[in-house]
Structure 1
């Protein structure tokens, strides 16, 4: 299993079903970077506490709303027009690269936030995904992430 969050997220996202689960959760308001971090923390058996979940939310929310979402919205708004405009297709690809770079930066910030969190605190289950998902009703998508993360090579 990759030890740093960025490589873990890249590897996990390529697993069957994970991209679809992430997009489904994102459509429901989830911050996919936060959920990938949650899967990483669960895989590392880091205890999930209210203080820690709030720290991740407080760190991620401004970056997501001020940087990642505007880039994503711009890229998505150009999807249809770019099909018939080569120059716009190239610009859209550049925006997509910026969006990915912004997500990577967010993951690096999330990882830095968790740097001092110990693994395996007794009596504290690592239920990060449920605690950080926007809606507890999407258990199938969360379970897809959890199972895929559990099956990453150690």
Structure 2
């Protein structure tokens, strides 16, 4: 598979029920970029293991906590006030663009963290998604199943 991680993530996120599943998992504490990266590695047939999951978690955590989450939090805080303030809505849209750019860069960092992992013919999508979802996947099993279904249907020939 030669598709870059960003194109894969955009396509997967556009699948039916995927956005809702990702947002439900995010509310439960999951890192959506980490989940999308896990789906990408799974679709490429890369073997999943604790060391690889740990490497991705380490590559993701700082960026997610220090860059993506603060942008998202501020954008969400401004949502209600921006309905009645055109200038604040303009700034909120700028934040949304920055948040999306930060997520793209996070995904690229995750792809780079696994650049040496060989593509194989392995079906470990479930392992990648469960490993990347962590406790959020246990709390939101239905959402994780929706994401799994979307990723599996996208990967099907």
SS in 1 for 2:110: helix
Over 4 Å off, 4+ runs: none
Shift of 1:119: 2.3
Label 1:121 to 1:2 Cα distance change in 2 as closer, same or farther (>3 A).
closer
CA offsets 1:113-140 (integer angstroms, 9 cap, x no match): 1111012377x94511111113242222
Q: How many residues align?
A: 153
CA offsets 1:37-66 (integer angstroms, 9 cap, x no match): 111111111111111000000010000000
What residue in structure 1 maps to residue 141 of structure 2? Answer: 139
What residue in structure 1 maps to residue 30 of structure 2? Answer: 30
Q: TM-score, normalised on structure 2?
A: 0.91
Residue pair 1:5, 1:108 contacting (<8 A) in 2 also: yes
What residue in structure 2 maps to residue 10 of structure 1? Answer: 10
Q: TM-score, normalised on structure 1?
A: 0.92
Shift of 1:143: 1.8
What residue in structure 2 maps to residue 79 of structure 1? Answer: 79
Residue 97 of structure 2 is aligned to residue 97 of structure 1: yes
Residue pair 1:28, 1:134 contacting (<8 A) in 2 also: no
5+ residue gaps, structure 2, are none
CA distance in 2, matches of 1:125, 1:146: 11
Residue 53 of structure 2 is aligned to residue 53 of structure 1: yes
What residue in structure 1 maps to residue 110 of structure 2? Answer: 110
Label 1:88 to 1:14 Cα distance change in 2 as closer, same or farther (>3 A).
same
CA offsets 1:85-107 (integer angstroms, 9 cap, x no match): 00000000000000000000000
